[in-house]
Amino acid sequence: MPAPAGLARDLAAIVGTKHVREARAERVTYSMDGLPTHRRVPDLVVLPGSREELIAVVRLLAALGVPFVPRGAGTGLSGGALADEGAVLLVLTRLNRVLKMDPANRLAVVEPGVVNAKLGAAAR
C-alpha cells in the first residue's frame, strides 16, 4: 500500500522539506543495512531532528495508520531496519547527542542516532 497522498507534505511541515526523502535516488540510500544481501527501497524516508519532531511524526503516522520502521546508523546485520512496502522509514541519525556520561557506573545516556565513534570520544 503506497503512502497516503499528502503525507510527505505533512511530514515536511514537522521536520522541514530537506529532511523528507521522496525521490527514489535519495531513498535507495536507505535500502539496506550493514548486510547488503537484503534490500528494500522505502516508500518514504523522514529524519526528525528533535524529540518533539519525533513525537509529532509518530503521532501523525499513527493517526493515519501508516506503519513505520525506526533506523539508526544502518549498521545492523539483520535487515531489521528495512521498511516494508507502505511503511515510512524513520531515520534517527539527526538525534545524535550524548546526554549524560557516568564513567564510574559505566553508563551513558544517548539519543538513538549516536554512533559508536562519537560515544567513544565522549567517554575519553
- Write the pLDDT tens digit of every residue in 16-70: 999 999 999 998 888 877 777 778 888 899 999 999 999 999 999 999 999 999 9
Q: Would you state the torsion angle of the CA atoms of residues 28, 34, 35, 37, taken in this order, to the nearest 10 degrees?
A: 20
**123 pLDDT higher than 90:** no
88: exposed, middle or buried (Cβ count in 10 Å: 0-12, 13-18, 19+)? buried
Task: Supply the pLDDT for residue 77.
Answer: 64
Q: What is the pLDDT of residues 86-121, one digit of tens each?
A: 889 999 999 999 999 999 999 999 999 998 899 989
Task: Supply the pLDDT for residue 20.
Answer: 97
**78 pLDDT higher than 80:** no
Domains of the chain: 7-93 (3.30.43.10), 97-124 (no CATH)
CB 108 within 8 A of CB 122: yes
Q: How confident is the model at residue 82 (pLDDT cuts 50, 70, 90)?
A: confident
**79 pLDDT higher than 90:** no
